[in-house]
Amino acid sequence: MSSLRDLLAPIDQFESRHSGSADSGELAAMLAQVGYESLDALSAAAVPEDIRLPRRLALPEAVGEAAALAELRGLAAQNQVFRSFIGAGYYDCAVPAVIQRNILENPGWYTAYTPYQSEISQGRLEALLNFQTLVSELTALDIANASMLDEGTAAAEAMMMCHRIKLGGRSDAARFFVSEQCHPQTIEVVRTRAAPLGVEVVVGDHRSFEFGGAEGGGAVPAIVGVLVQYPDTRGSIHDYEAFFARAHAAGALCVVAADLLALTLLRAPGEFGADVAVGSAQRFGVPMGFGGPHAGYLATRDAHKRQMPGRLVGVSKDAQGQPALRLALGTREQHIRREKATSNICTAQVLLGVMASMYAVYHGPSGLRRIAQRTRLLTQILARGLTALGARVNAEPVFDTLTVGNVAAARVHAAAAARRMNLRQIDAYTVGISLDEVTTLAEVETLLSFFGETPTPAPEAIGALDYPAPHARQSAYLAHEVFNRYHTEHEMLRYIKRLEAKDLSLCHSMISLGSCTMKLNATSEMLPITWPEFARLHPHAPAEQWRGYRALFDNLEQWLAEITGFAAVSLQPNAGSQGEYAGLLAIRAYHRSRGEGEQRRVCLIPTSAHGTNPASAAMCGMQVVPVACDEAGNINLDDLRAKAAAHAAELAALMITYPSTHGVFEPGVREVCEIVHTHGGQVYMDGANMNAQVGLSSPGFIGADVCHLNLHKTFCVPHGGGGPGVGPIGVAAHLAPFLPKDGRKGNPTTMAGVAEGEAVNSGSGAVSAAPFGSASILPISWMYIRMMGADGLRRATQRAILNANYIAKRLEGYFPVLYRGNGGLVAHECILEFRDWKPRGVEVEDVAKRLIDYGYHAPTMSFPVPGTLMIEPTESETRAELDRFCDALIFIHAEMSAVASGEADARDNVLKNAPHTAAVVSASEWSHAYSRESAAYPDAHTRATKFWPAVGRVDNVYGDRNLVCACGGMQPLS
Ligand SMILES: *Cc1c(COP(=O)(O)O)cnc(C)c1O
């Protein structure tokens, strides 16, 4: 190409916006610093020769931002947005515009990371505390967590909780009762989860179910818990009190999957005996999005709080004694408890939980009640009209859903389709209708017209809106000020902005979290997620309405298969942890298909592995056997050989992260795969570190059998302050039949056209409630790959490796780089050693907190090695930003040296007292041995832009000793 032709290339070419700077002078200077001539020379030195991909990825040529958006518009146009009355856990709702623009579409909220550094996360922690308060008050249970991945997995987690509480870790045979009137996808996800644990799921009618079990003579295994839906999936509202009393008498725990909106009018689960409540907060202002992402929820009684899965926000105090929030009871979680963790959930659904909580803040208790009453009134009007037409509908009480019998269903569906409306398909004589927040009286009139001609009953004709006893809600909820103050848009806008301002996000500075890959979440990638063609589809809509989604899934699966070197991909898992679970399930199913399922249960996991690995293996009924690492941070091949041989007959899998969690391209990885294969095991590759592989190598090429990807790491889905995530898995051909069930083949029982309850047991069952998981955020990764193309992706990987090595080079004179691979190079992240400072008076946590004073989020602390920092800059940072970060650490090194030498006081120093709040620095009294200036403005950059932490250092121990997980605890501490 001539240079004149080059000049005509589109201006909005994306790669140079994504990967550091387009300035080739900058690139050359950085390469020189690291000691290489070109990116190719650098990656050839870093990546072991035997795993270097011999060819270019086969992906479509990159296009500019506008062209990619135009192409995606074309796909979106193939989706048809019908009004959906399908229900089954998904309802249309009005996303308040102030929340859509200022949270969902606002990088200040969506680019924040999981709130591990609580001092710079008080905004989202407060919003999550509101979410927990909302859930715990509506369910009338003592404690709720800060979101689950969806309703189906929340129910499955509740089942596992019952199992743990009742059996205390013993693996005795057990049963779990599930009402047949639960949402079908919930039943499926619970079934999938139960199988590897050896729990038998009994699906039936709660009214006629007979508990037997140990108390009935020991003939059948004990029932550890029961699960019912409230209101049930067909719209009926049961009084479960007597059933729960029977369940408790039989030694079972009681779980209710409850609709949060209905609970504003109905007696709360905690008031009729529930031990656990689960569900979805989708209809609280989160788009249906063809199934996700949404915030699931889980609440329980105080007695069971240590058995809860997921993240929990609690109130504590800071160094100045002021109330401060942080994640609580971390000791339940997988990074500490490994295979004994309460669950494998790491990334959850923070952004969606924040949206739902803000919806409740905006409407307040009376607003929510009005939305519920309005929905109920319209449902009653519809019921009356249908009855007049001779149809059979549920008896009172109902809330939003009617099951309409005695009708010619095909004719009704055809009439509805002609008006671009979807009803729920049940059978030839029965249809389901669920109303929602946006239903109008005119729509009810239209709905009635599908069944015959009748005047629409007048609202005045509906006698009683209030539920009779025992169904009526008597208890109050959401009395806290936060739910009663921000009901005008100005107040709401300012509340959202006030919280946002407390949180450090990618809008402020590089967040160099090792293993978590916080790269650019480009605006062009984000724009499509709120297009109605993606946002407003119901996950059970008929297939002809989601042709555009189908094309997008096909593209993305094909591209990800090419990138991972695998034969097939499933997009269903809702996070990396769920991908691990789905991948191990595929391995389990493969062994079973060969008649080896029972004995092959050992999962080898290096001691350096992420905590989700052993936790996921435990969920699949596998026995975790740790494999040692050598002093270079690599898997100890001798130990691996010995363990693989010792367990040859039982070996199911090895889980390996590549490049290793130590940030190094291990040279022996092909051999690792061979050893495992020789002994009949399968190799699971944790793809969290794919940002160092894309275009240079691949799990399939290396010899693994399955891997998960974190689209919220490598493929630009933002972290959302702790979720959403997407954790697709890629598998080699022999595992393809064992992927989670796929909605495209029309086989999930929940899909239109397949009768409910018809079990289709291909694959490993469903691992998420929706067949394509968090479908509505897949356009983000589609855009990324489309705009980067094969060369752009490869160069991004190379640039990520360059950036990490550049940092290692700049800092090695100050802090030793713990692990290195070929040529003394690191991969895409580097671990810096701080342990030797502890005896000299400075802990790694002091460094992390001091970085806040410099305007930075700390890198990953103490994973995978305690007392270290793991820095992953990604390709998206310029040299200027990398330098600023390195300079901050070099300044801090001087501060540390002053403490070590005794020049600074051992206790009263800038490190121990970090971070410094504006209140502290500006207080009339200043009694420290150092200056206010060195506290708050330690370098020139902080003078130009200062990010003030909202609170001082948070006391974690105090919070866990005095656990408070709802808004009431935010009163100033005495
Ligand atoms: C992030 C991560 C996971 C878990 O992914 P989630 O999406 O948070 O569940 C697993 N392994 C490694 C190495 C990770 O970095």
Q: How many angstroms is it from 151 CA to the middle of ligand 1? A: 21
Q: Which structural domain, as residue segments, surrounds residue 318? A: 97-361
Q: pLDDT at residue 764 above 90?
A: no
Spatial CA neighbour of 516 closest among 958, 172, 115, 102: 115
Q: How many angstroms is it from 15 CA to the middle of ligand 1? A: 26
Looking at residue 218, its pLDDT comes to 57
Ligand 1 near 725 CB (within 6 A): yes
Ligand 1 near 575 CB (within 6 A): yes
Looking at residue 754, its pLDDT comes to 36
Q: Atom of ligand 1 at shortest distance to CA of 661? A: 13
> Rounded mean pLDDT of 415-419?
98
Q: Atom 2 of ligand 1 has which residue's CA nearest to it? A: 688
Q: Atom 8 of ligand 1 has which residue's CA nearest to it? A: 347
Confidence label for 217 from pLDDT (cuts 50, 70 and 90): low
Q: Atom 4 of ligand 1 has which residue's CA nearest to it? A: 576
pLDDT digits (tens, 9 = 90+) for 526-543: 999 999 999 999 999 999
Examine the domain organization and report whether 457 and 412 are in the same domain. yes
Examine the domain organization and report whether 815 and 889 are in the same domain. yes
4 contact partners, CB below 8 Å, separation of at least 6: none
Examine the domain organization and report whether 252 and 318 are in the same domain. yes
SS3 per residue for 67-78: HHHHHHHHHHCC
Looking at residue 469, its pLDDT comes to 94
Q: pLDDT at residue 93 above 70?
A: yes
Looking at residue 171, its pLDDT comes to 78
Q: How many angstroms is it from 716 CA to the middle of ligand 1? A: 15
- Positive or negative, the CA dihedral 327, 330, 332, 335 is positive
Residue 608's alpha-carbon distances to 32, 221, 236, 536, 658, in angstroms, are 33, 38, 50, 42, 12
Looking at residue 786, its pLDDT comes to 98
Ligand 1 near 657 CB (within 6 A): yes
Q: Atom of ligand 1 at shortest distance to CA of 713? A: 1
**421-427 and 83-85 strand pairing:** parallel
**682-686 and 729-731 strand pairing:** unpaired
Ligand 1 near 577 CB (within 6 A): yes
Q: Atom 3 of ligand 1 has which residue's CA nearest to it? A: 576
Inside any domain, residue 598 = no
> Rounded mean pLDDT of 893-897?
98
761 contact partners, CB below 8 Å, separation of at least 6: none
pLDDT digits (tens, 9 = 90+) for 643-652: 999 999 999 9
Considering 461, 486, 512, which residue would you say is the last residue of a domain?
461
| CA–CA dist 760, 741 (Å, integer) | 9
Residue 259's alpha-carbon distances to 14, 380, 401, 472, 813, in angstroms, are 43, 18, 12, 15, 58
Looking at residue 643, its pLDDT comes to 97
Examine the domain organization and report whether 924 and 881 are in the same domain. yes
pLDDT digits (tens, 9 = 90+) for 832-877: 999 999 999 999 999 999 999 999 999 999 999 999 999 999 999 9
Inside any domain, residue 971 = no
pLDDT digits (tens, 9 = 90+) for 109-166: 999 999 999 999 999 999 999 999 999 999 999 999 999 999 999 999 999 999 999 9
Which of 612, 684, 707 has the most ligand 1 atoms within 8 A of CB, as the residue to mutate?
A: 612
Examine the domain organization and report whether 940 and 810 are in the same domain. yes
Q: pLDDT at residue 214 above 60?
A: no
Looking at residue 864, its pLDDT comes to 93
Ligand 1 near 346 CB (within 6 A): yes
Looking at residue 973, its pLDDT comes to 54
Inside any domain, residue 702 = no
| CA–CA dist 954, 928 (Å, integer) | 19
Examine the domain organization and report whether 111 and 205 are in the same domain. yes
Inside any domain, residue 638 = no
Residue with tokens 């119901």: 538
In degrees and rounded to multiples of 5, residue 908 shows phi and psi of -90, 80
Q: Atom 7 of ligand 1 has which residue's CA nearest to it? A: 576
Ligand 1 near 741 CB (within 6 A): no
Examine the domain organization and report whether 945 and 846 are in the same domain. yes
**What are the helix (H) ranges across 831-875?**
844-853
Examine the domain organization and report whether 831 and 887 are in the same domain. yes
Count how many domains the chain has: 3
Ligand 1 near 714 CB (within 6 A): no
Q: How many angstroms is it from 12 CA to the middle of ligand 1? A: 33
| CA–CA dist 6, 795 (Å, integer) | 19
Q: How many angstroms is it from 4 CA to the middle of ligand 1? A: 46
Alpha carbon 548 to its chain centroid, in Å, reads: 24
Which of 350, 351, 511, 686 has the most ligand 1 atoms within 8 A of CB, as the residue to mutate?
A: 686
Ligand 1 near 334 CB (within 6 A): no
Q: pLDDT at residue 747 above 90?
A: no
Inside any domain, residue 333 = yes
Inside any domain, residue 484 = no
Confidence label for 3 from pLDDT (cuts 50, 70 and 90): confident
Q: How many angstroms is it from 584 CA to the middle of ligand 1? A: 15
Ligand 1 near 686 CB (within 6 A): yes
Spatial CA neighbour of 260 closest among 134, 121, 86, 116: 134
pLDDT over 70, % of the chain: 96
729 contact partners, CB below 8 Å, separation of at least 6: 569, 570, 573, 579, 582, 583, 586, 706, 707, 708, 709, 739
Which of 157, 327, 577 has the most ligand 1 atoms within 8 A of CB, as the residue to mutate?
A: 577
Examine the domain organization and report whether 345 and 381 are in the same domain. no
| CA–CA dist 379, 392 (Å, integer) | 14
Inside any domain, residue 483 = no
Looking at residue 763, its pLDDT comes to 72
Looking at residue 752, its pLDDT comes to 35
**602-606 and 651-657 strand pairing:** parallel
Examine the domain organization and report whether 274 and 169 are in the same domain. yes
Q: Atom 5 of ligand 1 has which residue's CA nearest to it? A: 576
Ligand 1 near 108 CB (within 6 A): no
Q: Atom of ligand 1 at shortest distance to CA of 345? A: 9
In the chain, the amino acid numbered 183 is H
Inside any domain, residue 439 = yes
| CA–CA dist 849, 869 (Å, integer) | 12
Q: pLDDT at residue 751 above 50?
A: no
pLDDT digits (tens, 9 = 90+) for 784-838: 999 999 999 999 999 999 999 999 999 999 999 999 999 999 999 999 999 999 9
Mean pLDDT of the chain: 95
Looking at residue 746, its pLDDT comes to 52
CATH number, domain of 354, equals 3.40.640.10
CATH number, domain of 417, equals 3.90.1150.10
Examine the domain organization and report whether 148 and 266 are in the same domain. yes
Q: How many angstroms is it from 616 CA to the middle of ligand 1? A: 11
Q: Atom of ligand 1 at shortest distance to CA of 727? A: 7
Spatial CA neighbour of 485 closest among 350, 313, 352, 366: 366
> Rounded mean pLDDT of 941-952?
96
Considering 314, 335, 361, which residue would you say is the last residue of a domain?
361
Report the 10 Å Cβ neighbour count for 304.
18
Confidence label for 231 from pLDDT (cuts 50, 70 and 90): very high
Taking the chain, what is the end-to-end CA distance rounded to the nearest angstrom?
73
Examine the domain organization and report whether 375 and 339 are in the same domain. no
Q: Atom of ligand 1 at shortest distance to CA of 725? A: 7
pLDDT digits (tens, 9 = 90+) for 346-377: 999 999 999 999 999 999 999 999 999 999 99
Q: Atom of ligand 1 at shortest distance to CA of 686? A: 11
Q: How many angstroms is it from 344 CA to the middle of ligand 1? A: 10
Ligand 1 near 872 CB (within 6 A): no
Core vs surface per residue 934-949: b (16+ CB within 10 A) or e: bbbbbeeebeeeebbb
Q: How many angstroms is it from 610 CA to the middle of ligand 1? A: 7
> Rounded mean pLDDT of 259-280?
98
Q: pLDDT at residue 940 above 60?
A: yes
Q: How many angstroms is it from 346 CA to the middle of ligand 1? A: 7
Q: Could you tell me if 62 and 15 are in contact, meaning their C-beta atoms sit under 8 angstroms apart? A: yes
Ligand 1 near 515 CB (within 6 A): yes
Considering 413, 443, 461, which residue would you say is the last residue of a domain?
461
pLDDT digits (tens, 9 = 90+) for 460-509: 989 888 999 999 999 999 999 999 999 999 999 999 999 999 999 999 99
Looking at residue 601, its pLDDT comes to 96
Q: Atom 11 of ligand 1 has which residue's CA nearest to it? A: 610
